[in-house]
Structure 1
Amino acid sequence: MPYRVCVTYLLRERDGVAQVLLGRKKTGLGVGYHVGLGGKLEPGEAAVEAAVREVAEEAGVTVDPADLDPRGELLYLFPHRESWSQRSSVFVTTRWQGEPAESDELVPAWHDVADLPLDEMWDDARQWLPDVLVGGHVSHEFTFGDDLATVVSDRPLPTS
C-alpha cells in the first residue's frame, strides 16, 4: 500500500514574472532533485495539516491552512522498490509568512514558472507541474521503471 505524502508549491510574482519555490533535496528520497515542499503524513494527520507542517519544517515559513489551494492527487508506483510507492496530495499557495530559508532537508530557490529546471526534477514533473502552477489540476498515476527514475507508464487516476 503506498504511503501518503503531500507537496506544496509556493507561488509569487516578481516584476511581472510568475515564480515558484523549489528546494534542492539534501537528504532522503530524491536527493539532488529540485522538489516542492512536502513529505510524509504523520499518523492521523490530514494532508492539509501535513502541508502546513512540512512547509514550516523545510523552508521556515508559515502557511495558513485556508490559503492552501488543493490541485489534485498523484499516485507514484515503484514496482522495483515498493517501499517508495506513494500517494501525494498537491497544493499551491500564494500567501505565507516569513522568508524561505535553507533547512536540513532542502536548499530553497525561486524559479521562473516558464523556465522550470525539469531536467533536475523527478521524471513525471514535466507532464503535470507546468499546468498545475498556472491554475490546472492533476489526477494521475505514474509508474517508474527499474532505474527508479524513469516513468515507464502513466494514466489518469480512476474517478471515485
Structure 2
Amino acid sequence: MARATGVPGTPALPGEWQTIDGIAYRNVALCFLFRVHDGVREVLLGLKRTGFGTGRVVALGGKIDGQESAVDAAVREVAEESGIQLSAADVRSAGRITWSFPAQPGWNMAAHLFTADAGNALPVAGEEIEPRWYTVDALPWNGMWQDGPHWIPALLDGHPVDARIVMAPDNEAVDSAVLE
C-alpha cells in the first residue's frame, strides 16, 4: 500500500492524498444539498455522530476512496450519510478549499465542493450523521467548525469558493483564511 507523502505511517491508496506546496492533504468531497420548503431556501447539514468532527454540524461528505472521482465520492457520501440518491449529473461543482492543521497534519484536507438540489427527498439518519434541514439564513454557526463563516456564505450565495484555511494550534480556531 502506498504511503501518504508527508504523513508518516499513514496508509493510503493512490489518489487519496495529494501534496500542495510540500504539504500532504487528504482528498475529500463535500456536497451541500438545497431545497425550497414553504417558500424558504434550506440547506441539508448533519450532526456528526462518529469519526472526525464528532459533535459538530457539518456538510455531507468524506474522503475520496482510491481512484474514485470527486463527483462519485460526493454522490456516494450523500447516499451513505442521508439516504438521498443523487446521480453525477445532479451534482454541480462549487469550488475547492484546503484546510491545514499544523498541530495535526494527518487532518489536512483538500476538498472538492459540490451543490445539488434535493427536491422533495427526505434524509434518513444513519450511524455517522443525523441530517437536518436548516434555513440558509439561520445556520447553527456555534455548532459548526469555526472556519465556516469565512467561506460558507459565499457558497450559499452561489459563488464558487477557492479558499485556504489554516487552523490554529488548538485545532479549533482559525489562524488564517484566504478566499480568492
Q: Normalising by structure 2, report the TM-score.
A: 0.84
Structure 2 stretches of 5 or more lacking a match? 1-23
| Deviates most, 123-132 or 97-106 | 97-106
> 1:2-81 alignment to 2 at 5 Å?
2-81=25-104
Deviations 1:131-156 (A, max 9, x none): 21221111010000111111111224
Q: Distance in 2 between matches of 1:99 and 1:19?
A: 13
Q: Distance in 2 between matches of 1:156 and 1:129?
A: 11
Equivalent residue letter for 2:92 = D
Deviations 1:14-34 (A, max 9, x none): 111110111000011111111
Structure 1 stretches of 5 or more lacking a match? none
Query: Size of the alignment, in residue pairs?
Result: 157
Q: Secondary structure at the match of 2:137?
A: helix
Q: Distance in 1 between matches of 2:81 and 2:39?
A: 27
1:61/1:97 contact within 8 Å kept:
no
2:96/2:161 contact within 8 Å kept:
yes
Q: From the two aligned structures, give the one with the greater helix fraction.
A: 1
Among 141, 144, 154, which residue is 2:164 paired with?
141
Q: Percent identity, aligned pairs only? A: 37
CA RMSD of aligned residues (A): 1.3
Deviations 1:47-97 (A, max 9, x none): 000001000111111011111111100000000000000100111101468
Equivalent residue letter for 1:79 = P
Higher RCO (C-alpha under 8 Å, 6+ residues apart): 1
| Deviates most, 95-104 or 141-150 | 95-104
